[in-house]
Amino acid sequence: EAQVTQNPRYLITVTGKKLTVTCSQNMNHEYMSWYRQDPGLGLRQIYYSMNVEVTDKGDVPEGYKVSRKEKRNFPLILESPSPNQTSLYFCASSLKYGIGKNIQYFGAGTRLSVL
């Protein structure tokens, strides 16, 4: 089954404790992206990756890091989480990033609470 898998689904942590949210896709997609979803603000893009070893900032990259060492995986790293990073996070992937191939498929989400 074609899917984007995020882990964990739920996470409660404390300020300053490094964490990683994993994302894996089995569709051989080139493009992957991370979003956060907050009430009233919609989905905002954190980072994206056009291919292995190629990543760039979205609209809200502060406090986050990413890496793309393999095509299928795109982990999101919070090196020193703060309470304002409490949010619902989604990973997405698409075949490519050009017109006609840019339909994004989303994971089920990771709900993060930073105390």
Instruction: State the minimum distance, in angstroms, from the CB of residue 15 to another protein.
Output: 26
- Measured CA to CA, the distance from residue 81 to residue 34 in angstroms comes to 16
| Interaction of residue 102 with another protein, rule CB under 8 A | yes
| Interaction of residue 41 with another protein, rule CB under 8 A | yes
Q: Which of 7, 13, 104, 113 binds another protein (CB under 8 A)?
A: 104
What phi-psi label fits residue 44: left (phi over 0), alpha (psi between -120 and 50 degrees) or beta?
Answer: beta
Q: Rounded to the nearest 10 degrees, how much is the dihedral formed by the CA atoms of 100, 67, 46, 13?
A: 140
Binding site for another protein (CB under 8 A): 4, 31, 33, 35, 40-45, 48, 50, 56, 58-59, 90, 92, 97-99, 102-109
